[in-house]
């Protein structure tokens, strides 16, 4: 019984307004993982059309923008794989199979579906409902073992594990007859399965970056207020203005983490500072305990401009040459397809489809 190979996979939707939450909660954390794992980072364009139709020219620009952000942040597309999802048909193919594994009840409980569909669920696309099956397919078509994401994706990753586990159970005899099982640990128990039970990598001080206008709401691409988020392409003036106008409370910063409880806006700015400076909230508080926002905000502006400015400049440079970005995506897609197609052959054989290994 061989042991499953460790691999990292994560994805970002190209829906525009790539923001500080996407960067601190995900992209920045993708970078160091390259030292320890084989990594696959994907621009999930099939997911981008689930909520509403996208303007075709804007969608293409947004795909290139997310790719540029990956590269500008320090992801190496030679050593690892960077590509857009729609170039590898296996994602959609495995998603169909997972639609037949996942239960209606499981998908109906997804909070993201409930939030995005709103009150009128009859009008939501079928794709929005089935979104988590496609996400499970993204991960499992590479049998990825680790997935770095922000906290809002936790429920989707639990569902990915449920799908993997049900597939492994439903086909357990067939998987072992074909010799396709791999060893893995489930809790303290060693079991065999075809798909790994993926481990979410969620953490750090910016696992959930909140709106700059309302510390109770997540920073998001779709918030109608531009002041609610810093986008990766903001210039220094825009960053300074948004931080200056960020909602706060009248108290100075506390000495300890407990002092941030019930102060969501202060907690959010301290978390952003900590993530940008590669430290934790407690260290930020030890430096700024007792400081008023009149002191802390300018320090945060300086830090944000210093860290985001060079990435934005590099993104602009890369985006000026779309052909170069498209070449990176094409190369990544070819290498991704090689892994994905082998997994799909196994899966089809496990299920009993004729011609799988032809």
Catalytically active residues are: 116, 218, 221
Q: Is 103 exposed, middle or buried (0-12, 13-18, 19+ CB in 10 A)?
A: exposed
Round to whole Å and give the CA distance between 306 and 30.
Answer: 20
List residues bridging with 81 in a β-sheet.
Answer: 40
Q: Which of residues 45-84 bind ligand TYM (CB under 6 A)?
A: 47
The reply on whether position 215 binds ligand TYM by CB under 6 A is: no
Give pairs for 288-294: CB < 8 Å, separation 24+: 288/253, 289/252, 289/253, 289/254, 289/255, 290/252, 290/253, 290/255, 291/252, 291/253, 292/252, 292/253, 293/248, 293/253, 293/266, 293/269
Q: Is 313 helix (H, G, I), strand (E, B) or coil?
A: helix
Q: Is 293 helix (H, G, I), strand (E, B) or coil?
A: helix
Which range binds ligand TYM by CB under 6 A, 68-76, 151-159, 185-193, 300-308?
151-159
Closest distance to ligand TYM from the beta carbon of 113 (Å): 11
Which range binds ligand TYM by CB under 6 A, 101-109, 203-211, 305-313, 334-342?
203-211
CB closer to ligand TYM out of 202 and 325: 202
Residue 313: what are its φ and ψ, rounded to 5°?
-65, -45
CB closer to ligand TYM out of 148 and 181: 148
The reply on whether position 154 binds ligand TYM by CB under 6 A is: no
The tokens describing 180, both together, are: 């396709």
Secondary structure letter of residue 37 according to DSSP? S
The reply on whether position 152 binds ligand TYM by CB under 6 A is: yes
Q: In the set 45, 65, 90, 138, which binds ligand TYM (CB under 6 A)?
A: 138
CB closer to ligand TYM out of 156 and 242: 156
Q: In the set 28, 143, 218, 281, which binds ligand TYM (CB under 6 A)?
A: 218
Q: Is 358 helix (H, G, I), strand (E, B) or coil?
A: coil
Q: In the set 7, 10, 141, 254, which binds ligand TYM (CB under 6 A)?
A: 10
Residues that bind ligand TYM (CB under 6 A): 9-13, 21-22, 25-26, 44, 47, 135, 138-139, 147, 149-150, 152-153, 156, 206-209, 218-219
């Amino acid at each position: 019984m061989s042991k499953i190979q460790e691999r990292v996979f994560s994805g970002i939707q190209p829906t525009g307004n790539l923001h500080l939450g996407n960067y601190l909660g995900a992209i920045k954390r993708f970078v160091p993982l390259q030292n320890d794992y084989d990594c696959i980072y994907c621009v999930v364009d099939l997911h981008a059309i689930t909520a509403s139709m996208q303007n075709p020219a804007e969608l293409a620009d947004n795909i290139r923008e997310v790719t540029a952000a990956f590269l500008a942040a320090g992801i190496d597309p030679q050593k690892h794989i960077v590509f857009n999802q729609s170039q590898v048909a296996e994602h959609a193919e495995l998603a169909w199979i997972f639609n037949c594994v996942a239960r209606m009840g499981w998908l109906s409980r997804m909070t993201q579906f409930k939030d995005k569909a709103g009150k009128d669920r009859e009008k939501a696309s079928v794709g929005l409902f089935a979104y988590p099956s496609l996400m499970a397919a993204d991960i499992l078509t590479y049998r990825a073992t680790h997935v770095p994401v922000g906290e809002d994706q936790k429920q989707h990753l639990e569902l990915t594990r449920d799908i993997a586990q049900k597939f492994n159970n439903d086909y357990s005899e067939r998987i072992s007859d074909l010799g396709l099982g791999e060893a893995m640990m489930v809790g303290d128990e060693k079991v065999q399965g075809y798909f790994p039970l993926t481990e979410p990598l969620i953490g750090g001080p910016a696992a959930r970056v909140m709106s700059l206008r309302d510390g109770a709401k997540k920073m998001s691409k779709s918030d109608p207020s531009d002041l609610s988020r810093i986008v990766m392409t903001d210039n220094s003036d825009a960053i300074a203005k948004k931080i200056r106008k960020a909602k706060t409370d009248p108290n100075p910063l506390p000495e300890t983490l407990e002092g941030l409880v019930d102060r969501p806006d202060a907690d959010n700015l301290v978390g952003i500072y900590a993530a940008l400076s590669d430290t934790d909230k407690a260290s930020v508080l030890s430096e700024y305990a007792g400081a008023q926002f009149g002191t802390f905000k300018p320090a945060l502006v300086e830090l944000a401009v210093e860290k985001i400015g060079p990435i934005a400049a590099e993104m602009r440079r890369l985006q000026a040459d779309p052909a170069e970005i498209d070449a990176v995506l094409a190369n990544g897609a070819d290498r991704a397809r090689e892994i994905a197609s082998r997994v799909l052959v196994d899966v089809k054989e496990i299920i009993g489809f004729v011609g799988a290994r032809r």
